[in-house]
Amino acid sequence: MRALPPSPADWAARVISRARCGQRRVLHKDWNTALGGAGFNLGFDLASRHDVLHHELHEVGIAIGD
């Protein structure tokens, strides 16, 4: 079973606590982890769209070339 993500208030409290303790590297890792999931999803979506577009253009190119 997967743990629930922290609430925004819990996450903010953890960020502030770590920033006060000077743990910038840990803070940076948390930030990258939060953004990484969104970035991966966006990148995967764009790659999928690129593959579909490339396939469609290839099909049109074959139709025009014939």
pLDDT digits (tens, 9 = 90+) for 1-59: 566 666 778 877 777 776 665 555 555 666 666 666 666 666 666 667 777 777 677 67
**Maximum CA pair distance of the chain?**
68
Q: By C-alpha distance, which of 44, 25, 48 is closest to 36?
A: 44
pLDDT digits (tens, 9 = 90+) for 47-57: 677 777 776 77
Q: By C-alpha distance, which of 5, 64, 32 is closest to 56?
A: 64
Query: What is the pLDDT at residue 13?
Result: 79
